[in-house]
Structure 1
Amino acid sequence: MDRTHLNGKELARTLEERIGYAFRDESRLKRALTHASARGGKGADYQRLEFLGDRVLGLVIAEMLFLEYEGADEGELSLRLNALVNAETLADIAEEIGLIDLVRAGSDIKTLSGRKRINLRADVMEALIAALYLDGGFEVARDFVLKYWQPRSRLAGAARRDPKTELQEWAHQVSGTAPSYAIEKREGPDHDPVFTVSVHVNGYTPAEGSGRSKREAEQAAATAILTREKVWHIAGTTE
């Protein structure tokens, strides 16, 4: 059976098997898993839920880190939070759950790759968190987030530094100048743009990165060059 055509009850039952929560309002879950390209009418997709889910996730992660890392200062807590709420982490968890094969979307969305694919998974994950929050309350959403995010918070490299800050310091060491960033292109609709940015360090081949904001794209580009030049390992640790 094509899971993107499951009715409300079938969709809720399938997701319950994966995450252990039974939705009371199946229409809310259906909205959380509906992309704008397949919506039946205005407001019937996950965009509004995505906005709420982002805030719920941030609060749960901030509370978790505050309680677990009593000796950490604000800077370290911020680094840990940023690593856990970025699009890559959300997309990884969406893949782990098998969430994307439940999303109702137009055929063109199914073929997305690269950064757009990551962003789609991240958006759906945020929408699901919002749906859990609205359906079962804060504790339900909190339990879900802790189940999937807490193990990741304890991995080596979870508190790595902001890549732009790291690149700034490395570039000064190796070239005596600051890195420079340039927007290469902007794609997508106004409400969901994708930026591609290049970063240049004197004496080194430029690197590119993409993201839903210029800052996110710059961070991705900085990460790319830090990884390529082996300043950072793939797992995110520094040498």
Structure 2
Amino acid sequence: MNEGSINFDVVIIGGGAAGLTAGIYAARARLKTVLLEKWVIGGLAATTDLIENYPGFSEGISGQDLMEKMKAQAQRFGVEIIQSEAKTIKKCGKKFEVTTDKESYTTKTVIVAVGTVPKKLNISGEDELRGRGVSYCATCDGPLFRDKNIAVIGCGNSGLQEAQFLLKFVKHITLVEWLPYMTADQILQERLKNDPRLQCMLNHKVVSINGKERVRSITVQDRANNQENT
């Protein structure tokens, strides 16, 4: 064990909603608690334009605002929040040692709340054009697509919420869904179904993302007849 390790009762890895909630409970129990987050406090929820299904906010609340409130609540109870990536967790006798890119911490309890990452399509062009037309965060990158024709892959809640936000900027959206039906909540479908700027391609899969310097098109395949269109 590193002699310079900083001792805490609880080390939480991940600063999304789950990690912040764990921190609030631990700190209220008078446990010395540190939370480690490598990216942004609030995780993916912080990038959501509008959250309407969280109790207590009748008009909805932006993901960033909600996560800021949770962060402030955790800090009020004494959670120490550190922007750093946990590299290793090692058992040392009756304790654990968590090593980051800056420090090491010893603790009796480690809570791993690393959340989720965007689901990739794993198709040609996705990695090559990431950041050059391929995006996983409408709130982050929406203004970059002003007055453009774009595609949103997936017609679940996340897909339609992203599309709803992107309509503030873009000219037209093609929604592509692998299933023959949408899985988003009915209220989201009703909000968007009559918008002339939306086209929905159900029962289609994206085969490739095309372009050299930037995304120029996508190729989709109709799962009913295997016909491809770009």
TM bracket (short chain) = under 0.3
Greater percentage in strand: 2
Which has the greater radius of gyration?
2
Question: TM-score, length-normalised on structure 2?
Answer: 0.24
Question: TM-score, length-normalised on structure 1?
Answer: 0.23
